[in-house]
């Protein structure tokens, strides 16, 4: 199965989502903020990144911009995760390079479909 980097600052969300992904066979690496997410993306080279948007001083959009600007990590698909379901959040996520967007609380079947679609569209993740 694929390697997923979960960038999430809320410990409860990180734990819950990480365990649910691991039960489905994914290998999950965690980062707790934008800077550590950018560093983990380069170090781990995961198949996919789940990026929380509300991360503090470096939000998920800025972290995604940096990941997409780095030739080493630019091809990794990123799915933005946010508690806000605004169209403007979805648009901004696409503008910074996210492959998809999903809302919290996480609907696991829907998120899994998005993860699988992103992985299938990314030949490097195969």
pLDDT digits (tens, 9 = 90+) for 57-95: 899 999 999 999 999 999 999 999 988 777 777 888 888
Please state, for a pLDDT cut of 70, what percent of the chain lies above it: 96
**pTM of the entire predicted model:** 0.94
Q: How confident is the model at residue 23 (pLDDT cuts 50, 70, 90)?
A: very high
For residues 52 and 101, the answer to whether their CB atoms sit within 8 Å is no
Q: Under a CB-based contact definition with an 8 Å cutoff, are residues 55 and 12 in contact?
A: no
CB 96 within 8 Å of CB 58: no
Instruction: Report which of 40, 13, 1 is spatially closest to residue 102, judged by C-alpha positions.
Output: 13
Place 46 in a pLDDT band, splitting at 50, 70 and 90.
Answer: very high
pLDDT at 126 over 60: no
Neighbours of 5 (CB within 10 A): 25
Domain count, the chain: 1
Residue 103: give its domain's CATH number.
3.40.50.2300
Per-residue pLDDT at 88: 79
Q: Would you state the pLDDT for residue 125?
A: 57
Sheet containing 27-31, strands listed edge to edge, beginning at the edge strand earlier in sequence: 27-31, 3-7, 48-52, 78-82, 100-103
Q: What's the domain range around 83?
A: 3-125
């Amino acid at each position: 199965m694929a390697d997923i980097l979960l960038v999430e600052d809320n410990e409860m969300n990180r734990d819950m989502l990480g365990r649910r992904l691991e039960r489905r066979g994914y290998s999950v690496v965690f980062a707790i903020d934008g800077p550590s997410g950018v560093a983990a993306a380069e170090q781990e080279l995961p198949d996919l990144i789940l990026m929380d948007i509300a991360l503090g001083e470096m939000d998920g959009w800025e972290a995604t911009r940096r990941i997409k600007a780095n030739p080493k990590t630019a091809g990794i698909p990123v799915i933005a995760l946010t508690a806000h379901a605004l169209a403007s959040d979805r648009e901004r996520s696409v503008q910074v390079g996210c492959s998809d967007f999903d809302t919290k609380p996480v609907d696991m079947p829907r998120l899994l479909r998005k993860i699988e679609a992103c992985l299938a569209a990314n030949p490097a993740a195969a």
